[in-house]
Amino acid sequence: RRVYVANHPPLFHALAAVPIGIGERLGAPRAGLLAARLLSVALAAGGVVLVAWLALLLVPGRPRVAVAAAWLAALLPGLPHVSAFVYTDGLGFLAATAALVAAVATVRRGPTPARLAALTAAAAAAALTRAPGLVLVGFAGAAAAAGFLLHGRRRGARRLLAAAGAGAAVAGLAG
């Protein structure tokens, strides 16, 4: 028998185990399950906020685009549906969107230690939440390298080495 969801890494399950475990210890397993469902909803809602932030980074002069993007993401039928359950989708959506926000900020505004740390953490969270999140590890490394190539102060081969090193460091730490 194949159970495809068993392929997902453990980050979401570790988070969801906290309210479920507390509910079990208090003799209220239904309350623990409800709290885990609310956690899933809150994580997906955070992802919707990050969609708006991503739109602001991509189209900074048009705040209405950010509002429309967030509404569109929130109103897609699949998101509210799967967010109401104790599924990995809410955290996966949040982590993937956070990785995209950090990648765009790094490429457009240049790499800083805070942006590279956020990029690494978001890509690692995506990889630890859902198996498809592993793709974001390579994407994060490419974004870090692009940020160094576009905004680096070094010239020539040193810039290429810095970009390659940054990309390898981000991807290596996240993966």
pLDDT digits (tens, 9 = 90+) for 105-140: 999 999 999 999 999 999 999 999 988 889 999 999
pLDDT value of position 131: 85
Q: Which residue bears the tokens 């994580």?
A: 43
User: Which one-letter amino acid corresponds to residue 84?
Assistant: A
| Each residue's pLDDT tens digit, 42-64 | 999 999 999 999 999 999 999 99
pLDDT value of position 93: 95
Per-residue pLDDT band for 152 (boundaries 50, 70, 90) equals: confident
Per-residue pLDDT band for 6 (boundaries 50, 70, 90) equals: low
Show the tokens assigned to 13.
Answer: 């399950």
This prediction's pTM: 0.90
The answer to whether the beta carbons of residues 110 and 151 sit under 8 Å apart is yes
